[in-house]
Structure 1
Amino acid sequence: MGDLAALRDELAQNAHFLANANIPSTLTWKKIGSDNVLVSTEAAAEYDNAVQPTTDNEETPTEVPELDPALLSMVAKVATSDFWLTPCGHWKGPTSFTPTFADLKLNCRLVAHEDSVFKGDFKKVLDNVSALMAKAATSGHSRQGIFDPKEQPKTSLKVRHVVFAEKGPGDDDDGYDLRDWPVKSPAAREALVAMEDTHRIYALPAYDINGNLIPPSQYGTLMGAVVRATISLSHWNIAREARDSYVADIVSLRVLVPTAPIASTSSPRKRKAVETTDPGASPMKKARN
């Protein structure tokens, strides 16, 4: 518990710790490529100043500072329900949400860790994320993607990881070959073969209690674990459907408290062959005496 208390003190000093009361005022939404991404207000101001012409006759500078998403941190527990952080995301074929295996996004829900100094933080996290979403909301549009609409009040936050991307020049391969990626369904296996020349793998940036990268075959150990989660937030306005879509992308997960091991049932006791005669006492034996 002492280690977690020290960690909380350290995280609270971070301007982007999601339980801090003033965090909505330190962040703003900014267009990066085709995405509307949450960045620090300081970084956004520096970016705007750099690209702003100094006079009416000057052109916008050709070199502008890189604008990166804000890295938002929290401590939470990985929910044991609605858990899809498996190498194949339980994909068995096309669905309306994942028409091809290349569209797969691994995801899970984060909930409060009730047995630590972080117990009261998660509600603040949920409230701050709601406030940040509101800053990008379109009037009259519904919101989707991070909160479960069936949860009233909110108790969880959905995070995701994009595991496949189209290959590009200079891309690192994360050390995983598509053919060796551990999947279970035949449909996923066939899809990997077809994707070999066009896509690459982004391994889930999840680390165990010792800081070692968790291999894909062990992603299931994250279920029920307490983690330090770092995320980024993005937003899209879908005008034709009158809705705002938000996603929380996993930047990293670091296990702080591992999942308690599940007690295994003992293997069945080995049985002897059935006796051909009953060796116990009987009335017939007594009758002979």
Structure 2
Amino acid sequence: MPVSALSGVHYLLSDIDDTLTDDGVFPADSYRALEDLRAAGCVVVLITGRPAGWCDMIARFFPVDAVVGENGALCFYRDGDKVRQIWNDPADVRTANLKRLHTIAGDIVGEFEGTALAKDNPWRASDVAVDFAEEVGPLPLSTAEAIRERFEEAGATAKVSSIHVNAWFGSYDKLSMFARWLNEVEGKTVDAVLAQSVYTGDSPNDVPMFRRFPLSVGVQGIENYHLAPEDKPAYVTKSDAGRGFAEVAKALLSCFNNNKRD
């Protein structure tokens, strides 16, 4: 990715697992990069499949402006010293959906040997996650795709990440909730910030963002998924996971510093 492509960027949007992390650990370099970019004036929004409970902590304690969680079910964002919440569905709908999803997921785990309900499910509010590569396996991507198909046969929306298959009821995704936060909090549309935004990700659940943002970057591990041409990010880093993100962060921070000197 040419550094010049990042010269007008004001929004850093990024997945978390296997994009900011290395082998399941959030390294100091990734945290420092977010901190430095935000201090330089960049708006930082993390967009993840991780649960609501985690997102509350991230919104409160990480150097971010907002975090979209559960693949678009929610957004928690900073408002001074408070954390505000945006939800796609009301609480009663979320409760009813979770009950149905756990029944489906239980059947699927019984069908696919070696899988398990993800251990972060107790902190989820809108979706369910089946683990195929975090604390089990890792199982082949073909297994993850088969699990996704089973959820879809049961009427759910499902996406594959680098570690889980997430499923929910509804047509929302990472992009739709980011667009809602952008409109309600920043007073802008996605079209208005396309040239000012870069998105980094690593797996198929990032495809809505890869498709929408011209400045989309996949860390090297994205090549494992053999995405259709229209689903691929515009650029791929030389390194994987957090080290790949570090390439983007370094280039972006350089642009911010150069702009200040100019």
Higher relative contact order (CA 8 A, sep 6+): 2
Q: TM-score range by the shorter chain?
A: under 0.3
Higher helix fraction: Structure 1 or Structure 2? 2
Name the TM-score, length of structure 1 as normaliser.
0.24
Normalised by the length of structure 2, the TM-score is 0.25
Structure (1 or 2) with the greater strand fraction? 1
